[in-house]
């Protein structure tokens, strides 16, 4: 990626992320998110409650605890601990205990997707869920949690021995509770989050093999498959990693078509991977620029703002929902590109996306972020289950691009 000119450096001094007020505002938003979730998140029976739009625990009926929520909360409250937020340890302890005592399958190994007070509600072993177990373990290790090493070791062994497929350099998708293959489906979403988690595991342990595996996944899904698809990130593949363009199983995590939010997420991950690997792989920043340009050109609603959830194969909106998480990932992507590249368009996009979030998603009455703009027809998420995306959007712009949020807070902190 080209060095900044003197003119570009001068412009960079006027970016929002250099302004003390904006930096203070970002931290205040992060604090408000913690305030919203902390009130009723802890379930005395174990694990974490799902919260409604007012931040109240959903208890009648009580939804099962899904592993991606448990693990993301551990990760987020590890970030809170690194920020110096009092009381964060209680939430880390709650999640770590529940992962080990309830989500973990003591008979067959691995971690159940869904559990409740009586046992598994969804016993499948999903790569997506295991990616976040690895991330939770890595984040817990950076705050010296006493159970972090055993969780990292256990999750790492399961990923390496059960999910990892050396020939394509990527992960299988899912298995039954006793590790029988379910089908030949291969998905980019789970592998994208494994890339994130593998980088975190490398940061936490120094084990270079995690970084090598992350680079392999990125090479397959972005360097080959997205490049072949004009820098649109395809979601669904078969056993041979051939695109399955008509795949759709009705699962919100496996939608038809392409998902601009994932292109934005990969934009940041590619740049982080490039930095973490010593800027060796020049194709990564080139891919990041192409992914971002394609996502904002095709996925952004130029009339009302926000990113469409999915596009069809003619690049027309298919699911028109404006979810919170693509906006959050767009902020992280624009922030990384602005810091590394410095082209004025990235500052423009950073401000544009934050304006949409401030106007449409920050809930000033109840706290936190809405999952979609108020009054959205047929919202996809009935409750507030996620702290992870919004929190990271608030903190990524405050930290160096040389690693994850936890690495940044551990090594340099905030200034």
- The residues annotated as belonging to the active site are 262, 389
DSSP string, 135-194: HHHHHHHHTT-TTHHHHHHHHHHHIIIIIEETTTTEE--EE-TT--B--S-EEHHHHHHH
User: Would you call 381 exposed, middle or buried from its count of C-beta atoms within 10 A (0-12, 13-18, 19+)?
Assistant: middle
- DSSP bridge pairs for 405: none
Phi, psi angles (nearest 5°) of residue 65:
-85, 120
CA 207 – CA 327 distance, rounded (Å): 32
CB-side exposure of 362: number of CA atoms within 13 Å?
Answer: 19
Q: CA dist 205 to 96, 110, 142, 234, Å? A: 18, 21, 9, 31
CA 215 – CA 343 distance, rounded (Å): 26
CA 401 – CA 158 distance, rounded (Å): 30
DSSP string, 12-70: HTTSGGGSHHHHHHHHHHHHHHHHHHHTT-B-TTSSB--B-TTS-B--TTPPPEEHHHH
CB proximity list for 168: less than 8 A, separation 6 or greater: 186, 220, 241
CA 290 to chain centre: 20
Kindly provide the b/e burial profile for residues 234-246, where b requires at least 16 CB atoms within 10 angstroms of the residue's own CB: bbbbeeebeeeee
Decide: 67 and 114 in contact? Cβ < 8 Å: yes
Tokens encoding 180: 């029988």
Sheet of 119-122, strands arranged across: 65-66, 114-116, 119-122
- For helices 20-38 and 388-395, the axis angle rounded to 10 degrees is 160
- Sign of the dihedral through C-alpha 74, 75, 80, 84: positive
């Amino acid at each position: 990626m080209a060095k900044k000119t003197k003119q570009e450096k001068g412009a960079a001094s006027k970016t929002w992320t250099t302004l003390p007020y904006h930096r203070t505002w970002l931290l205040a938003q992060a604090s408000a998110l913690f305030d919203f979730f902390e009130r009723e998140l802890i379930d005395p029976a174990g694990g974490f409650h799902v919260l409604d739009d007012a931040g109240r625990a959903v208890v009648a009926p009580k939804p099962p605890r899904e592993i991606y929520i448990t693990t993301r909360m551990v990760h987020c409250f590890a970030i809170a601990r690194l920020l110096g937020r009092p009381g964060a340890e209680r939430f880390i302890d709650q999640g770590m205990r529940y992962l080990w005592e309830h989500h973990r399958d003591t008979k067959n190994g691995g971690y159940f997707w869904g559990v409740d007070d009586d046992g598994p509600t969804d016993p499948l072993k999903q790569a997506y869920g295991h990616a976040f177990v690895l991330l939770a373990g890595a984040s817990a290790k950076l705050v010296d949690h006493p159970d972090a090493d055993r969780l990292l070791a256990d999750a790492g062994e399961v990923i390496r021995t059960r999910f990892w497929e050396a020939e394509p350099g990527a992960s299988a998708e899912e298995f039954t509770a006793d590790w029988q293959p379910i089908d030949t489906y291969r998905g980019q979403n789970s592998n994208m989050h494994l890339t994130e988690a593998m980088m975190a595991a490398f940061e936490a342990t120094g084990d270079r093999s995690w970084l090598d595996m992350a680079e392999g996944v990125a090479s397959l899904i972005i360097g080959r498959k997205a490049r072949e698809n004009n820098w649109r990130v395809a979601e669904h593949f078969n056993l041979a990693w051939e695109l399955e363009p008509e795949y759709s199983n009705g699962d919100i995590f496996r939608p038809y078509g392409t998902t601009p939010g994932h292109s934005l997420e990969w934009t940041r991950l590619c740049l982080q991977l490039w930095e973490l690997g010593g800027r060796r792989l020049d194709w990564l920043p080139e891919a990041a620029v192409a992914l971002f340009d394609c996502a904002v050109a095709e996925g952004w609603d130029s009339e009302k703002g926000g990113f469409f959830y999915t596009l069809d194969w003619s690049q027309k909106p298919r699911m028109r929902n404006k979810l919170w998480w693509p906006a959050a990932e767009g902020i992280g992507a624009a922030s990384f590109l602005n810091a590394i590249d410095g082209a004025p368009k990235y500052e423009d996009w950073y401000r544009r996306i934050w304006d949409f979030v401030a106007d449409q998603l920050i809930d000033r009455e109840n706290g936190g972020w809405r999952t979609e703009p108020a009054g959205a027809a047929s919202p996809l998420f009935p409750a507030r289950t996620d702290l992870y995306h919004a929190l990271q959007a608030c903190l990524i712009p405050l930290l160096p691009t040389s690693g994850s949020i936890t690495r940044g807070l551990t090594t340099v902190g905030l200034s």
